[in-house]
């Protein structure tokens, strides 16, 4: 008789890492599809509508086979509305950055999220932030200056602005999620973000939609499907492994962005990206490591 091997914590961590890598790879494909769809005439408003609308069925199927549709009840609809509004504005900036900049540069600017999260955590949540993390924040912003190359073309300048705004607002979402997750489960948060995002994006879609060839419509549908799948992988990874383990996997997105940018769009990252990206990544990794270490020390003090 065959015995079933128990799932160890190490297996769970490896599973979480695999899910996060899958999430990053799928989001990278979504970014490619966004650029291709825009190149075929798709408007930003159309892309956002398809991203949210076609992700919603995937989220519902995931929840129905997991926590169940009953888990969607909430007594905190106001918090979900705030999260949806902030998330949509953030998505608008992130998508704009993908359209304005080459994939590698757009992806690099998203790596400033933990830097902004540290600043917002100190300012809004009054989290204790020592000189270690403030030093990492300073180094990270130096990396941004290198990548941004102040004084370059207008389109690049707009792209850097939207990229940094997208990262700042994404960090704001992460701060808000820390509060919401105290009372709401991950499936509930994901569902309400998707559901509450559809009506406003539908209004924008109605205002800006234009006729397209079938290829463009299919590209926009694919944006929604890949975005929904990537979102589920990302959420599941956080349930399987510690944040400090899975978040560093996000930096593999630069590898995908560089490969796709070169192979599909003929874009090779500039010298400033090759120099600035490692600086930003090192800053983000140090912040994640420092936060993990402080949390572990706090737990050890409580146990002792």
Asked if the structure places residue 168 within a domain, the reply is yes
Under the banding of pLDDT at 50, 70 and 90, the label for residue 3 is very low
Asked, for residue 1, whether it belongs to a domain, the answer is no
Between 87 and 141, whose confidence is greater? 87
Q: Residue 275: inside a domain, yes or no? A: yes
Compute the CA torsion angle 59, 65, 69, 71 (nearest 10 deg): -90
Asked if the structure places residue 3 within a domain, the reply is no
**pLDDT of res. 267:** 87
- Domain count for the chain: 1
| 30: in domain | yes
pLDDT confidence of 300, banded at 50, 70, 90?
A: low
Query: Which tens digit of pLDDT belongs to each residue from 220-240?
Result: 999 999 999 998 888 888 777
- Does residue 188 belong to any structural domain of this protein? yes
56 belongs to a structural domain = yes
Give the pLDDT band of residue 8 (cuts 50, 70, 90). low
Query: 129 and 109 in contact (C-beta within 8 Å)?
Result: no
**84: pLDDT confidence band, cut at 50, 70 and 90?**
very high
Residue 6 domain-assigned (yes or no) = no
HSE at residue 38, side-chain half, CA atoms within 13 A, is 19
Domain range for 183: 14-303
Q: What is the dihedral of CA 36, 37, 41, 44, to 10 degrees?
A: -120
Averaged over 259-276, what is the pLDDT? 88
Least confident of 16-25, 225-234, 285-294: 285-294
> pTM value?
0.86
pLDDT, tens only, 22-42: 999 999 999 999 999 999 999
Report CA-CA distances (Å) from 76 to 82, 174, 187.
10, 17, 14
Average pLDDT (10-29) is 89
């Amino acid at each position: 008789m065959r015995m079933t091997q128990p799932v160890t914590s190490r297996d769970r961590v490896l599973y979480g890492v695999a899910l996060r890598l899958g999430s990053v790879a799928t989001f990278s494909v979504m970014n490619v599809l966004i650029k291709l769809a825009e190149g075929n005439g798709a408007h930003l408003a159309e892309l956002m509508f398809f991203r949210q609308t076609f992700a919603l069925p995937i989220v519902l199927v995931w929840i129905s086979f997991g926590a169940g549709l009953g888990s969607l009840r909430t007594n905190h609809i106001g918090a979900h509305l705030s999260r949806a509004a902030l998330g949509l504005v953030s998505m608008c900036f992130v998508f704009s950055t993908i359209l304005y900049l080459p994939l590698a540069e757009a992806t690099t600017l998203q790596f400033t999220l933990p830097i902004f999260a540290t600043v917002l955590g100190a300012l809004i949540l009054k989290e204790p932030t020592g000189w270690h993390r403030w030093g990492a924040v300073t180094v990270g912003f130096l990396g941004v200056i290198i990548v941004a190359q102040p004084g370059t073309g207008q389109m690049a300048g707009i792209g850097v602005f939207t990229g940094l705004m997208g990262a700042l607002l994404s960090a704001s979402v992460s701060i808000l999620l820390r509060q919401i997750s105290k009372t709401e489960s991950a499936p509930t948060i994901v569902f309400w973000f998707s559901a509450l995002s559809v009506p406003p994006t539908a209004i924008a879609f109605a205002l800006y939609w234009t006729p397209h060839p079938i290829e463009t419509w299919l590209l926009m549908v694919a944006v929604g499907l890949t975005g929904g799948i990537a979102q589920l992988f990302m959420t599941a990874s956080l349930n399987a492994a510690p944040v400090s383990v899975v978040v560093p996997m996000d930096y593999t997105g630069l590898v995908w962005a560089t490969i796709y940018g070169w192979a599909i769009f003929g874009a090779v990252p500039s010298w400033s990206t090759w120099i600035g990206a490692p600086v930003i990544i090192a800053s983000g990794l140090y912040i994640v490591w420092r936060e993990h270490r402080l949390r572990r020390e706090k737990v050890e003090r409580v146990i002792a």
